[in-house]
A and B are shown apart, each in its own frame.
Chain A
Amino acid sequence: MGAQIRVYRRKIASTSSMKKIFKAMEMIATSRINRARRRSNETGPYANALTRAVSAVATQTSITHPLISDGSESRRSAVLVMTSDMGKAGSYSVNAIKKAEGLIERLRQDGREVELYIVGRKAQQYYDFRNRTYEKVWTGDTDNPHVETAREIGEVLLDRYSTPYEEGGVDDLHIVYTQFQSMVSQEPKILRLLPLTVVDAKEMGEEIVPGEDVSDDEFDNAASFEFEPSAEEVLDQLLPRYIETRIFSCLLQAAASELASRQRAMKSAGDNADDLVKQYTRLMNNARQAEVTQELSEIVAGADSLAAS
Chain B
Amino acid sequence: MASVLKVEVVSREAVVWKGEAKYVRARTAAGDIGVMAGHAPTLALLAEDGELVIDPVDGERKTARLQEGFLTVSNDSVVIAATSSSDL
Point out residues on A near B: beta carbons under 8 Å.
Answer: 42-43, 45-46, 49-50, 52-53, 56-57, 147, 217-222, 224-229, 233-234, 237-238, 241, 245
Q: Quick check: is B45 within 8 A (CB to CB) of the other chain?
A: yes
> In the complex, what residues of A have CB within 8 A of residue B74's CB?
218-219, 221-222, 225
A57 to B81, CA, bound (A): 16
Q: Is the CB of B81 within 8 A of A49?
A: yes
Partner of B8, one of A45, A227, A238: A45
Q: Is the CB of B29 within 8 A of A229?
A: yes
Q: Is the CB of A46 within 8 A of B81?
A: yes
Tell me the nearest residue of chain B to A230, going by C-beta.
Answer: B45
Q: Is chain B's interface secondary structure helix, strand, loop, or mixed overall?
A: strand
Q: Is the CB of A241 within 8 A of B30?
A: no
Q: Quick check: is B44 within 8 A (CB to CB) of the other chain?
A: yes
> In the complex, what residues of B have CB within 8 A of residue A245's CB?
12
Q: Is the CB of A228 within 8 A of B75?
A: no
Q: Is the CB of B10 within 8 A of A218?
A: no
Tell me the nearest residue of chain A to B30, going by C-beta.
Answer: A229
Tell me the nearest residue of chain A to B42, going by C-beta.
Answer: A226
Q: Is the CB of A49 within 8 A of B42?
A: no
Q: Known pairs A45-B10, A227-B43, A233-B45. 12 more at Cβ < 8 A?
A: A42-B13, A43-B12, A46-B81, A49-B72, A52-B79, A53-B70, A53-B81, A221-B75, A222-B41, A225-B41, A225-B43, A234-B45
Q: Is the CB of B15 within 8 A of A45?
A: yes
> In the complex, what residues of A have CB within 8 A of residue B12's CB?
43, 46, 147, 245
Q: Is the CB of A43 within 8 A of B41?
A: no
Interface centre among B8, B12, B15, B29 (most CB of A within 10 A): B12
Q: Can you pick out 15 interface pairs between chain A and chain B where the beta carbons lie within 8 Å of each other?
A: A43-B12, A43-B13, A45-B10, A45-B15, A46-B10, A56-B72, A57-B43, A221-B75, A224-B41, A225-B41, A226-B40, A226-B41, A229-B30, A238-B45, A238-B70
Q: Is the CB of B41 within 8 A of A46?
A: no
Q: Smallest CB–CB gap between B74 and chain A, Å?
A: 5
Q: Smallest CB–CB gap between B86 and chain A, Å?
A: 16
Within 8 A of A (CB), among B8-53: 8, 10-15, 28-30, 33, 40-45
Categorize the interface residue count of chain B. 20 to 34
Q: Is chain A's interface secondary structure helix, strand, loop, or mixed overall?
A: helix
Q: Smallest CB–CB gap between B54 and chain A, Å?
A: 16
Interface centre among A220, A228, A241 (most CB of B within 10 A): A228
B1-12 interface code vs A (CB 8 A; 1 in, 0 out): 000000010111
Q: Smallest CB–CB gap between A184 and chain B, Å?
A: 28
> In the complex, what residues of A have CB within 8 A of residue B70's CB?
53, 234, 237-238
Q: Is the CB of A56 within 8 A of B29?
A: no
**A227 and B81 in contact, given A43-B13, A46-B10, A234-B70 (Cβ under 8 angstroms):** no
> In the complex, what residues of B have CB within 8 A of residue A222's CB?
41, 74
A225 to B41, CA, bound (A): 5
> In the complex, what residues of B have CB within 8 A of residue A43's CB?
12-13
> In the complex, what residues of A have CB within 8 A of residue B43's CB?
53, 56-57, 225-228, 234
A49 to B83, CA, bound (A): 12
> In the complex, what residues of B have CB within 8 A of residue A46's CB?
10-12, 81
> In the complex, what residues of A have CB within 8 A of residue B41's CB?
221-222, 224-226
Tell me the nearest residue of chain B to A150, going by C-beta.
Answer: B12
Q: Is the CB of A42 within 8 A of B14?
A: yes
Q: Smallest CB–CB gap between B80 and chain A, Å?
A: 8
Interface centre among A45, A50, A237 (most CB of B within 10 A): A45
> In the complex, what residues of A have CB within 8 A of residue B11's CB?
46
